[in-house]
Structure 1
Amino acid sequence: MKLSILSWNVRGLNKRDKRLRVSNLLRDWNADVVCLQETKIQCMSRNIVRSLWGRNHVDWCCLDSCGASGGILIMWDTRVVEKVDVCVGTYSLAVSFKNVVDLSAWAYAEVYGPNLDRDRRFIWDELAGVLSWWNLPWCIGGDFNVTRFPSERSGGARLDSAMMGFSDFISEQGLMDLPLAGGAFTWSVSQDPPLWSRIDQFLISPDLEAW
């Protein structure tokens, strides 16, 4: 069964006009599972979710923000997938799903990684624990706030310990890093010279690729 998953760093959803713009785009993209990072909302509500989804048949779970920092929201079409269980972490939000049509079970984790190198080892430990929670095919997506290779960052970056830690996690967990289509980077800052990087990833377990 083919599913469409959208992962997007929205940089805040507190303003009504921002939620309207996001809702209009989500309606156009029509994804089955929608994952939003950096919501900056401390207490997510059903009214906010419905204003974003803009359709019926929605269920959701969230990781509330810490003040105005972070926050993750996962929404899905209940005609396509059903929630079985949820695991809420510090940097991740994971859901085990069952497909409505073929009853296949799988799991998804959305990530919003820390910005500081000293905190990044905690996310790998957290995700390793989450992956052991359910013995299912996995997909992990989101904004990891770190690149894997110097080539994924503009400005002549060199291989550092944060990059190596990310690659070590992927290798140790037996995950596959899906290639990026349509461009080389996922994030930019308009300055002179501009900065570009690929900090958004989708990682899958080999058993999910067989789907």
Structure 2
Amino acid sequence: MNLKLLSWNVRRLNEVDKRLQVRNLLRSWKELTGLISWWDLPWCLGGDFNIISFPSERLGTASFSWAMYGFSDFISLHGLMDISMAGGLYTWSNSSLASRLDWFLYSPLLADHFTQFTQKRMSRVLSDHFPILLEGGSQQRGRIPFHFENMWLRVDNFVDKVKMWWASYLFQGTPSFILAKKLDLKKWNETEFGNVMFKKQDLWSKLNVLDAKEETHRLTVEEKLVQVNLRTDIEKLTLLEEIS
């Protein structure tokens, strides 16, 4: 006779919604295991798992739970690899709560093909989840193309300025070079708007400092206000920076 025994912390498990959560989690791991067995290919599984594998991945947690054991067993069973994350400890936070709920788990076959995986937590503006940037290998860099900025259309007499610049200059070179020089938009853009990209980078940098501090210390009222204002300013600059 085969005996299969599942044991977990049964506290509050008499509640209907808690029993449903248990069944759904067990079903999820079983379904993912089935999908993995279908292909012998390199793959990466990423997203909001809404679960942690160790107590250190949740602020203020010191003990294991049945859910952590289930997630850890799933990772171990398939030999999945976890990419170390730069930029912060947690991927979700709300007031005094913080956890690492978002994951990128990849197969050993994928590790054989791509040896330069990096994972970085980015800053957030609206969501209670932090965006996670996953990169593999180096980027190819070429000549920067000419872009038209939507924010230019919000300026009065923009069309008249374009007509004047178009008639004032004669240049030789590639079509895109001639177009950019004729429009002379770069200098005008810096004068009219300032360097939006560098302004955003400065705001992101300040926001990153506060987000990192919030993981280990409670922010003061003044710091929380600065945090909110930084996110508001970033959102405004992002709207200006739209590229068509």
TM-score, normalised by the number of residues in structure 2: 0.37
Bigger Rg, which one: 2
Q: Which has the higher strand share?
A: 1
Q: Which has the higher helix share?
A: 2
